[in-house]
Amino acid sequence: MVTPAEMWRCRATDRRGFDELGGEVAERRRTAEEVEGPPPGAASLRSGVASTRDTGVAVWPGPCRRPSPPGPRSVALKQGAPVRHNGTGGLLPNTLDGQGAAMILGDLLDLVPPAFKGQVDDVRQRRGRRIHEVLRDLTRLRLQTRRRDHAGEASDATTVAIELEAGMPVGMRDRPIREEHRLAAMLSLWEPELAAIEENGAAFLENGVPVIEELESGRAALAGRVRALPEAVALARDLRTLCKDFDLVRWILEVDADVMGTYLPGGSQRGSGRPRIVLYWACIGLIGKAMGVSVRDLAAVVLTHELAHAFTHAGRDIDGHSWATPAYAGCGPYVREGLAQWYTEHGCAAIEDFAPTASAIFEALLDRQPASYREHRSWGKAGLEGVRSAMLQARRQGVVELEEFRAFLASSSKVLRSESVARAGQPSLPGFGEE
């Protein structure tokens, strides 16, 4: 008798494993049934794939991946019961037809290609220093301290660690996707490809086919198969329409916009240790795929945002002062996220030499993020110097709420305007400012 584990081995790594191993498993099952007879409720095998009618188990759409060992979210297989894996690329439930366990956000993360990890890590390692320098210049604060080794040699040491993780903040992975949104959520991952089929297919039909058919060899190549293209274009258009029923990115970000990365001012959830940044590469890949944007540029935006948190909190001014960790953590999200977003927006404009779509991605995310991520939009009149001055006041005070910070912005802007007027009214020194 064929075990469920053998059946699911058909998803292992490549098409040869799917086709050949599936046939091998099916043959072994037929041989066993000839000797022992079919077991009650046994799944029928067709080309190595189980029938959901018999087992309640379906192969999840997506790339073949090596099954992972069962984890805490696995459910023991019973006759007719759905199977759920622990979310690392193995067994997945029959959730598309409304039966069995609910689809969760973690199930979508399992479809993210591992190659995205390398792209995010490349940004962290090769572009992190440049982003650090940009934010240092914008804030005029420093994240590095001078340290001496055992030999007495001095060197600069960065006070914030940057790490990669595959998951997302605790509790977010198990967030259920409502049944009516499951199909749209799945299709969202391929919306860019569907758009390419619809747009390019229509353009090829209108402009390419007539030209090709002028050639005898072109007519032979097409050989009446062109009529399949309008159906493909129509299918892509209809599937894209279904995607519009559910904005996957907005749904992910509306609860916790830190799902792509997080800044831990105390180094951990417990608040102990030096500050730490975590980049969730799988979620960056998922959101980048759903938005149809460069995952590298999206990773640069996320890293800029998290480093902006680090600079506003742990960055030291000319006197060596920073924002006390308990006070920073006690500030409302509108203050913390407002400052991070302010410097992220300006930072993205400064890194477009290696992340050309960073600013566009930043703008595209704004409308899908919580209101605290748009607070900085009301600070424009204060300018970089006004916001920095208000930030320094807030750091000296400690815990600051939004209305207090807005008052700091207003007073800073007033002082800066007065100084500007005073400078404009001063007479020019001989030899300076004269034609």
260 & 382 share domain: yes
For residues 274 and 252, give the distance between their C-alpha atoms in angstroms, rounded to a whole number: 29
Same domain, 388 and 327: yes
Average pLDDT over residues 27-32: 46
Spell 187-215 as b/e; 16+ CB within 10 A means b: bbbbbeebeebbeebbeeeeeeeeeeeee
Given a cut of 80, whether residue 264 has pLDDT beyond it is yes
Question: Is residue 382 in a domain?
Answer: yes
Task: Give the residue from 231, 250, 269 where a domain finishes.
Answer: 250
Residue 1: CB atoms within 10 Å: 11
State mean pLDDT over 53-66.
34
Task: Specify the 3-state DSSP secondary structure of 359.
Answer: helix
Does 6 score more than 80 pLDDT? no
List, for residues 230-250, the tens digit of each pLDDT value. 999 999 999 999 988 899 999
Cβ–Cβ < 8 Å for 372, 337: yes
If one counts the domains in the chain, the total is 3
185 inside domain: yes
Dist. CA 140–CA 133, nearest whole Å: 10
Residue type, 208: G
Domain limits for position 301: 115-145+158-171+255-423
In a domain, 419, yes or no: yes
Determine the Cα angle at 27 with ends 23 and 33, to 5°. 145
User: How, if at all, do strands 161-165 and 276-280 pair?
Assistant: parallel
pLDDT digits (tens, 9 = 90+) for 134-174: 999 999 999 876 555 566 665 555 579 999 998 777 778 88
| Strand boundaries in 45-86, DSSP class E | 45-46, 49-50
Contacts of 244 (CB under 8 A, 6+ apart): 184
Residue 176 DSSP one-character state: B
Hunting for tokens 């100084």 — which residue is that? 419
Predicted confidence (pLDDT) at residue 14 exceeds the cutoff of 80: no
- The bridge status of strand 144-148 relative to strand 154-158 is antiparallel
Whether residue 429 is contained in a domain is answered as no
pTM to 2 decimal places: 0.71
327 pLDDT higher than 70:
yes
Residue 435 included in any domain: no
Are 266 and 243 members of one domain? Answer: no
Angle among Cα 331, 334, 335 to the nearest 5 degrees reads 50
pLDDT at 116 over 50: yes
- Cα angle, residue 271 at apex, residues 269 and 276 outer, rounded to 5°: 75
Residue 30 resides in a domain? yes
In terms of domains, do 310 and 387 share one?
yes
Per-residue pLDDT at 89: 40
| Whether 69 and 51 share a structural domain | yes
332 and 201 inside one domain: no
* Count of CB atoms situated within 10 Å of the CB of 346: 20
Mean pLDDT rounded to a whole number for the chain? 77
16 and 64 both lie in a single domain: yes
228: tokens are 């399949």
Q: How confident is the model at residue 94 (pLDDT cuts 50, 70, 90)?
A: very low
Residue 108 within any structural domain of the chain:
no
Same domain for 365 and 219: no
Sequence-distant (≥ 6) Cβ neighbours of residue 121 within 8 angstroms = 164, 281
> Within a domain: residue 262?
yes
315 and 362 share a domain?
A: yes
Share of the chain above pLDDT 90, in %: 53
Q: Based on the domain organization, do 193 and 293 belong to the same domain?
A: no
Domain identity same for 97 and 234: no
Is the per-residue pLDDT at 435 higher than 60?
Answer: no
- The per-residue pLDDT for 157 is 56
Query: pLDDT band for position 268 (50/70/90)?
Result: low
C-beta of residue 70 within 8 angstroms of C-beta of residue 8: no
DSSP type of residue 124? I
Q: What is the pLDDT of residue 426?
A: 58
CB 10 within 8 A of CB 48: yes
Question: For residue 340, is pLDDT > 50?
Answer: yes
Determine what percent of the chain is predicted with pLDDT higher than 70. 68
Which helix H or strand E contains 214, and what residues bound it?
none
386, 344: one domain: yes
